[in-house]
């Protein structure tokens, strides 16, 4: 009889038996004192909560939605749902009702753990979790096979979808994480929201590898650095937006990062200046980056010392094959931009399923693409060009926003920027740069930005217009909300838009001249 793989619940129980009083979670709430949850408490409380969930109708094959901020309760309800064999779907605590309800209708959960009103599914509110104290904390008589995970994701169509991978397993995640600098028994800082794929994997994979998880309810750069110093943090998942906010703290280079053994970034492209800043701060061999997708169809990884030899790359494929294909499905040589396709090794095909009608491009021999564009160098290192949905066709020429952003990102007067395409009577789509200055009271002259860009990229890629804003909209994973930026500029004009010479952009005529 084949031996069944250990479940997450069994792993928690084993660690509780090994060192019951060791902290499993150190929780940093937005307000108030830190809270410690030991391994014994984590094991016993999740047993109680699992029995409460069972009474509320949660069982093997059902789905549980968790819609609260980062907290021990988030982790406990998830672990308890897994002990019942339920699929766990984390969602943001505050979502527009229309978006939230659309996701819930796709998931059809047996239970929702959140403080939401008018939800047409059974709800367990955080205040009701105290009811679990009435239940037995002994091990459950049966611990079903691990049910995997589900993550909600936006789509190029604007409709949400759910990516379900029933093979995903926190206990197995350690093999991948070890390539990113994670190691057994570390202290891990988790300051990104758990409803995103990478922090979700990092948190539960870390717990399965006996990490003490320093969990922030909400990210704050100053508190994060203080936590690194106080708790001697060894490992941290940091998307570029978090890396940026920490590196911009006054006096950050005088702070104590000596305990850090590795940081991992993903979710969004890391600007070269930011990567170099962290390499200077903690050392090249400690800075790791991974490129992949929630679908888990393949990934590339790169360490800082490799990156210095291949600046701008996101690494070489790990446990997958990689191809760059043109629109006809032909392989492209190194240096040419095409669509990125990957194929996981040692599988019979993708292990995920979509709920919500989405689909991916695929080749007859099992390579899949989520629509990203990129190219490889002669050594096989991957470079991201952009998402096809973000491609700007301006005057018949293809312009990739990521390339334009990379040209401008190193400008010392910029804190952040985004490049989008906006409607234009002459060009079809106009390359437009939205700028967040480092000093809001002293934004850089647009003419200086134009000269900076022209010195780095060919002229047709240089932004034709600019716009200065106080702050760019990013979600908590660090991704720029491009669709919102584009939608807000659907007319191609607003009073804040400036030409490359720094002059106000003329309003478009009401109608084209015949």
Location of each CATH 3.30.300.30 domain in the chain: 391-499
Instruction: Return the structure tokens found at 219.
Output: 């990210």
- Look at residue 100 in the predicted model and tell me its pLDDT: 87
Q: What is the mean pLDDT of residues 457-475?
A: 88
DSSP helix/strand/coil, 206: helix
Residue 158's pLDDT band, with cuts at 50, 70 and 90, is very low
CA-to-CA dists, residue 213 to 4, 206, 241, 342, angstroms: 27, 7, 21, 32
DSSP conformation letters of 115-129: --SS-SS-EE-GGGG
Location of each CATH 3.40.50.12780 domain in the chain: 1-22+39-168
Determine whether domain 169-291 maps to CATH 3.40.50.2300. no
Residue 161 has pLDDT above 80, yes or no: yes
Angstrom distance (rounded) from CA 64 to CA 113: 8
Which of the pair, 385 or 123, is modelled with greater confidence? 123
- Residue that the structure tokens 């599988």 belong to: 347
Interacting residues of 276 by C-beta distance below 8 A, sequence separation 6+: none
**75-120 pLDDT per residue, tens:** 999 999 999 999 999 998 987 787 788 889 999 999 999 999 999 9
**pTM for this one?**
0.80
Determine whether domain 317-389 maps to CATH 2.60.410.10. no
Residue 389's pLDDT band, with cuts at 50, 70 and 90, is low
Q: What's the maximum distance between 2 C-alpha atoms anywhere in the chain?
A: 81
Contact 271, 247 (CB under 8 A): no
Residue 409 has pLDDT above 70, yes or no: yes
| Mean pLDDT value across the chain | 90
Q: Which CATH architecture has domain 1-22+39-168?
A: 3-Layer(aba) Sandwich (3.40)
Residue 510's pLDDT band, with cuts at 50, 70 and 90, is very low
CA-to-CA dists, residue 320 to 202, 217, 291, 366, 403, angstroms: 20, 35, 12, 11, 26
Q: Which CATH architecture has domain 391-499?
A: 2-Layer Sandwich (3.30)
Residue 1 has pLDDT above 90, yes or no: no
Q: Which residues pair with 435 in a beta bridge?
A: 417, 468
């Amino acid at each position: 009889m084949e031996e069944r793989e250990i479940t997450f619940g069994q792993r928690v129980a084993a660690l509780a038996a090994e060192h019951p009083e060791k902290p499993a979670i150190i929780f940093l709430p937005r307000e108030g004192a830190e809270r410690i949850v030991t391994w014994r408490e984590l094991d016993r409380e999740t047993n109680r909560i699992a029995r409460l969930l069972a009474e509320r109708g949660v069982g093997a094959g059902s789905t549980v939605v968790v819609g609260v901020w980062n907290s021990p309760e988030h982790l406990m309800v998830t672990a308890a749902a897994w002990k019942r064999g339920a699929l766990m779907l984390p969602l943001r605590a505050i979502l527009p009702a229309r978006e939230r309800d659309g996701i819930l209708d796709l998931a059809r959960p047996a239970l929702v753990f959140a403080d939401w009103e008018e939800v047409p599914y059974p709800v367990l509110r955080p205040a009701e979790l105290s009811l679990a104290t009435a239940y037995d904390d002994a091990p459950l008589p049966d611990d079903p096979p691990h049910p995997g995970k589900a993550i909600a994701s936006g789509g190029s169509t604007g409709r949400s979808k759910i990516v379900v991978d029933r093979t995903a397993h926190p206990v197995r995640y350690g093999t991948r994480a070890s390539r990113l600098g994670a190691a057994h028994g570390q202290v891990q800082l988790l300051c990104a929201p758990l409803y995103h794929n990478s922090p979700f994997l990092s948190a539960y994979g870390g717990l399965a590898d006996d990490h003490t998880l320093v969990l922030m309810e909400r990210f704050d750069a100053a508190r994060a650095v203080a936590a690194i110093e106080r708790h001697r943090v060894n490992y941290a998942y940091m998307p570029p937006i978090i890396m940026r906010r920490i590196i911009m703290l006054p006096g950050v280079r005088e702070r104590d990062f000596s305990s850090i053994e590795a940081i991992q970034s993903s979710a969004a492209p890391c600007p070269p200046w930011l990567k170099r800043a962290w390499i200077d701060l903690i050392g090249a061999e400690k800075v790791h980056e991974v490129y992949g997708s929630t679908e888990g169809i393949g990934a590339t990884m790169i360490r800082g010392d490799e990156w210095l030899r291949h600046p701008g790359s996101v690494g070489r494929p790990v446990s997958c094959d990689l191809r760059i294909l043109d629109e006809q499905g032909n392989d492209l040589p190194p240096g040419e931009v095409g669509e990125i396709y990957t194929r996981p090794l040692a599988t019979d095909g993708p292990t995920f399923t979509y709920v919500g009608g989405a689909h991916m491009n695929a080749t007859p021999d099992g390579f899949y693409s989520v629509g990203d564009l990129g190219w490889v160098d002669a050594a096989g290192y991957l470079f991201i060009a952009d998402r096809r949905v973000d491609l700007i066709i301006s005057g018949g020429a293809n312009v990739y926003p990521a390339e334009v952003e990379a040209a401008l990102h190193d400008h010392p007067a910029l804190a952040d920027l985004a490049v989008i395409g906006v409607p234009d009577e002459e060009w079809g789509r106009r390359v437009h740069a939205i700028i967040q200055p480092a000093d809001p009271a002293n934004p850089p002259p647009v003419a200086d930005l134009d000269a900076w860009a022209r010195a780095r990229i060919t002229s047709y890629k240089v932004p034709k217009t600019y716009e200065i804003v106080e702050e760019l909209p990013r979600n908590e994973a660090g991704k720029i909300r491009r669709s919102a930026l584009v939608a807000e500029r659907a007319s191609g004009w607003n009073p804040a838009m400036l030409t490359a010479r720094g002059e106000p952009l003329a309003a478009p005529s009401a109608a084209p001249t015949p």
